[in-house]
Structure 1
Amino acid sequence: MLSDVTVRPARPAEAEVLTELVMRSKAHWGYSEEFMERCRAELTIHADEVVPARMTVAEAAGRVVAVATLEGEPPEAELGSLFVDPDTIGKGVGRRLLQHMLELARGAGVRTVVLDADPNAEPFYEAMGFVRVGVVPSGSIPGRTLNRYAFDL
């Protein structure tokens, strides 16, 4: 467990740093360079998306180590992303940030949070109480599908 993790709203000026974190996190699972390039456009964070997506980061020792988004309006919102820097995976940062995002959703009047999970992240989301509710097409890879999960608040 990492101690002294701070959760705060992301800043538009951090878009490039956050994109690099997202790409490192995704690549951690052994995806090929070709796969990663095909995902780049979907995973790139633009400064003008930070505020509308309720983008939130976790910091440890002054460094951003995770990022998540909560998109949509009540009664249902989507955890559009949750990425943890590879050197902090398994240290409680993802759990802390996800719990924060669920509280943020609850405070906004959201009843259900949905997400499309990378297959490597499914055990984490299931352990956090998310339930598989369907299958959706990948936004980056034609023919690839992702499992959709939901969490009732």
Structure 2
Amino acid sequence: MFFRRAQIGDSSILSNIAYKSKAYWGYTEDFIQKCKDTDALTVTKEYIEKNSVYLVESDNEIVAFYSFDINEKKLDALFIEPDYIGKGLGKIIWEHLLNKAKELELNEFTIDSDPNAEGFYLKMGAENIGSTPSTVFPDRSLPLMKVKVN
């Protein structure tokens, strides 16, 4: 596994990973389309330029990524290609992103978690501190998590 900072040319690949990773959890095509329509899962070139976006390559193929919104002190995304879900890659990414958070001088950060990812974040040491409204579906709330960086 090889980590590197995302480049603007990676935007469409990262967006596709986000769509496929979200769909893996059984969301309907309508749900995924609504996410695409609102750019909720789209990784734009501008987003890559403004934020800390890191990807994981395996055999020269991008298989996962994560991103921090430094201004909001928030983990914005952590998506893994479905073929790699459940094989330990999430834990490897988590260790990398905690080290990156230290480099970025983040003492703590929040996560607007997908309900299906909440268990993973809890296992990694995050704390559930409440809920936050979905930016795509106003009547849907998401677990709000907080991570303290040691």
TM-score (norm 2): 0.94
Secondary structure of 1:140's aligned partner? coil
Secondary structure of 1:37's aligned partner? helix
Aligned equivalents of 2:42, 2:92: Cα separation in 1: 23
Aligned equivalents of 2:27, 2:129: Cα separation in 1: 25
Secondary structure of 1:123's aligned partner? helix
Aligned equivalents of 1:8, 1:78: Cα separation in 2: 19
Gaps of 5+ in 2: none
Residue matched to 2:103: 107
Aligned equivalents of 2:40, 2:104: Cα separation in 1: 26
Q: Does 1:72 align with 2:73?
A: no
Q: 1:42 aligns with which of 40, 46, 71?
A: 40
Secondary structure of 1:8's aligned partner? strand
The aligned length equals 147
Checking the alignment, whether the CA contact within 8 Å between 1:58 and 1:93 is kept in structure 2 is no
Is 13-22 or 90-99 further displaced after alignment? Answer: 90-99
Aligned equivalents of 2:64, 2:24: Cα separation in 1: 14
Checking the alignment, whether the CA contact within 8 Å between 1:137 and 1:145 is kept in structure 2 is yes
Aligned equivalents of 1:78, 1:54: Cα separation in 2: 11
Q: Does 1:145 align with 2:115?
A: no
Aligned equivalents of 1:25, 1:108: Cα separation in 2: 26
Residue matched to 2:59: 61
The runs of at least 4 aligned residues of structure 1 exceeding 3 Å deviation read: none
The amino acid of 1:62's aligned partner reads N
TM-score (norm 1): 0.92
The amino acid of 1:32's aligned partner reads T
Checking the alignment, whether the CA contact within 8 Å between 1:10 and 1:57 is kept in structure 2 is yes
> 1:51 offset after TM fit, Å?
3.0
> 1:82 offset after TM fit, Å?
0.3
Gaps of 5+ in 1: none
Please give the root-mean-square deviation of Cα atoms over the aligned residues, in Å: 1.1
- 1:115-143 alpha-carbon deviations (Å, 9 max, x no partner): 01111111110110000011100011120
Checking the alignment, whether the CA contact within 8 Å between 2:52 and 2:70 is kept in structure 1 is no
The amino acid of 2:28's aligned partner reads S
Aligned equivalents of 1:71, 1:98: Cα separation in 2: 16
Secondary structure of 1:51's aligned partner? helix
Aligned equivalents of 1:134, 1:38: Cα separation in 2: 25
- Give the percent of matched residue pairs that are identical in Structure 1 and Structure 2: 32
